Chains A and B, each alone.
Chain A
Amino acid sequence: MYPSDLKYHKEHEWVRVEGDVAVIGISHFAQDQLGEVVYVDLPSEGDEVTADETFGEIESVKSVSELYSPVTGEIVEVNSALDDAPETVNEDPYGEGWMIKVKMADSSEIDVLLSAEDYEAFIEDEA
């Protein structure tokens, strides 16, 4: 449920580091809480994102949540497949459900993120 090769943000985003690029999506917990995703509002390639600030929104039928970036940097790729198939976020949150890829300005920001174990504990505490 929470792959150990990823890092996690308190707002339920995950990060997969590929060199100096951070691949970002939302966790299993987040997609489960949301229910069936109907729309993802993502920024564009070239946009800047800042750690702990919002970069977009995700909607289910009855709710809307903000998406928080775990890192600072420039967006180098956006998963446009989510336009036509937003439910991919539910079906494969860590794989095809990725949202943005960010060229990190400061890779040390990864270090303050939660490990899979810590994230799981964090969710249990919240419940």
Chain B
Amino acid sequence: MTRRLAHTPDGAPSRGPRETIFELDAGDARTADDSALDVPEVPLERLLGDRVRLQPPALPDVTEVQVARHYAHLASLNFGVDTGSYPLGSCTMKYNPRVSEDACRAPGFAGLHPEQPAETVQGALRLMFELQEALAEISGLPAVSLQPAAGAHGELTALMCIRAFHTHRDGPRTRVIIPDSAHGTNPATVAMCGYSVAQVPSDERGGVDVRALREVLDTDVAALMLTNPNTLGLFDENIAEITSAVHEVGALAFCDGANLNAVMGVARPGDMGFDAMHINLHKTFATPHGGGGPGAGPVCVTAELAEYLPRPVVSRKGEGYVLTDPNRSIGRVRSFFGNFGVHVRAYAYIMGLGGVGLREASEQAVLSANYLKSRLYGVYDVPYDRTCMHEFVLSGSRQKRENGVRTLDIAKRLLDHGMHPPTVYFPLIVEEALMVEPTETESLEDLDRLAEALIAIAAEAERDPETVRHAPYTTPVRRLDEARAARDPVLRWRPRG
């Protein structure tokens, strides 16, 4: 294939990296703000004692023009959803609506201080209340906390509520069961909540091995943490039996809601027997990923668990809204009320799409994933040959075995096609895993282009494996020496010499 630039946002060719902002120097050109202090000035030493800073911090010394160009250049090195397909499994990289970006910036939202009197923030409280209600309706779990700042934070919050629930009864119990296909945040969350992890294997169909689960379930188990659809993109048809078995030993079932995009309006975790779930607003509800965050991870629970939710929650009071504390609240899990700026975006998305739009989004996500999978049969190994939900897992085993080309190489070569790779090497139970989630906002042309790129790479792996193994070639930088970065960490800029 021809060497062409991988991505050209706004038509400008992307160049390689250049200097850090510290290496730019405005010299005397920095526009000083010469507005004088309008109150009498007292020597700082008198006010701050010996705490006055002698040496200013070495921050950038640049003009606004330099700032503007520096960040414009950095942006041109990035690949975002706006650039092209971003089929990262379990990340739900759908389009981020622009109207949501405007909405959260309204002065009436962005300018709110969290300690303002309730009567001055009724619009914000109403928005949060309605978002709580909407998430309750979508999840099938009636009580909601918007406080957690991210999915992992939501997982931990839910598990803390479950812990409090048990402690209030017969003691916290000691273990939490997670499947071998679980995302890394799950066992990390379990440990952070003072529990030990008990793993349960998946069966040949890719769901939880129910027999193995029953063997591991006892009254020492506080909860089962499951994702459904799971990290293989499969709906566990035994889910009702699973949650029942969990309840039989007095344990609770938690749903990791990362894959909610598959089933909105079709099935609700509350109806599957889950007692608690977390939702990723930055996945299912289209709030932007921001290069790593901020997101939000609201928690939805049964009426029984409601009293343990973090305080405060938003409640109705007559015609207005107030902040209230659940009776046996576990307390706060962070300052203030949650990532309100993210809540506004998710709310806008839900209101804009309506119930029928959310269902359509899920149905299309599932159809698009199955369509894409069907185009790749015979080209890559498909470890679980079943109808998938909104994502599916391929294995690069054949390419590794026959051509010495690994999933990593396939992912890097996809960058040369102007697409972001799928998730790689997750879930751990599939060798050379490639987890693909196109989402519903890709067009049919986008899906076909992605399929054709993956097919072309598979063919290239046979014909010319070396080229694939040293990809990418057209990105702003090529493969990085990650071992060096870990062995001799350089974690901040320093002046040379």
Question: A residues engaging B (CB < 8 A)?
Answer: 35-36, 38-39, 59-62, 86-87
Contacts and interface: CB of A to CB of B under 8 A. Distances in A.
Contact of B487 (A35, A39, A62): A39
B48 interface: no
A36 B482 CA distance: 10
A39 B483 CA distance: 10
B486 interface: yes
Given A39-B486, A61-B482, A87-B487, 13 more contacts: A35-B483, A36-B483, A38-B483, A38-B486, A38-B487, A59-B486, A60-B483, A61-B483, A61-B485, A61-B486, A62-B425, A86-B487, A87-B483
Ranked nearest first, the 8 interchain pairs of A and B with the lowest CB-CB distance are: A38-B486, A36-B483, A38-B487, A61-B482, A61-B486, A61-B483, A38-B483, A86-B487
A86 B488 CA distance: 10
Contacts of A59: 486
A40 B490 CA distance: 18
A105 to B, nearest CB: 30
Contacts of A60: 483
Kindly name the residue among B482, B485, B487 whose own CB sees the greatest number of chain A CB atoms within 10 A. B487
Nearest to B408: A62
Nearest to B425: A62
Contacts of A35: 483
Contacts of B425: 62
Contacts of B482: 61
Interface string B409-425: 00000000000000001
A88 to B, nearest CB: 11
15 contacts: A35-B483, A36-B483, A38-B483, A38-B486, A38-B487, A39-B486, A39-B487, A59-B486, A60-B483, A61-B482, A61-B483, A61-B486, A62-B425, A86-B487, A87-B483
B180 to A, nearest CB: 17
A87 B314 CA distance: 55
A60 to B, nearest CB: 7
Contacts of B485: 61
Contacts of A39: 486-487
Interface in B473-497: 482-483, 485-487
Nearest to A35: B483
Interface in B416-467: 425
Contacts of B486: 38-39, 59, 61
A87 B484 CA distance: 10
B159 to A, nearest CB: 24
A51 to B, nearest CB: 24
A39 B486 CA distance: 8
B425 to A, nearest CB: 8
Contacts of A61: 482-483, 485-486
Interface string B145-180: 000000000000000000000000000000000000
B396 to A, nearest CB: 16
A35 B482 CA distance: 12
Contacts of B483: 35-36, 38, 60-61, 87
Contacts of A87: 483, 487
A86 B486 CA distance: 11
Nearest to A61: B482
Interface string B221-232: 000000000000
A60 B482 CA distance: 10
A35 B487 CA distance: 13
A95 to B, nearest CB: 20
A87 B485 CA distance: 13
A98 B482 CA distance: 24
A19 B482 CA distance: 41
Interface string B384-400: 00000000000000000
A35 B486 CA distance: 13
A51 B487 CA distance: 29
Nearest to B482: A61
A62 B408 CA distance: 12
A38 B485 CA distance: 9
A36 B480 CA distance: 14
A40 to B, nearest CB: 11
B256 to A, nearest CB: 23
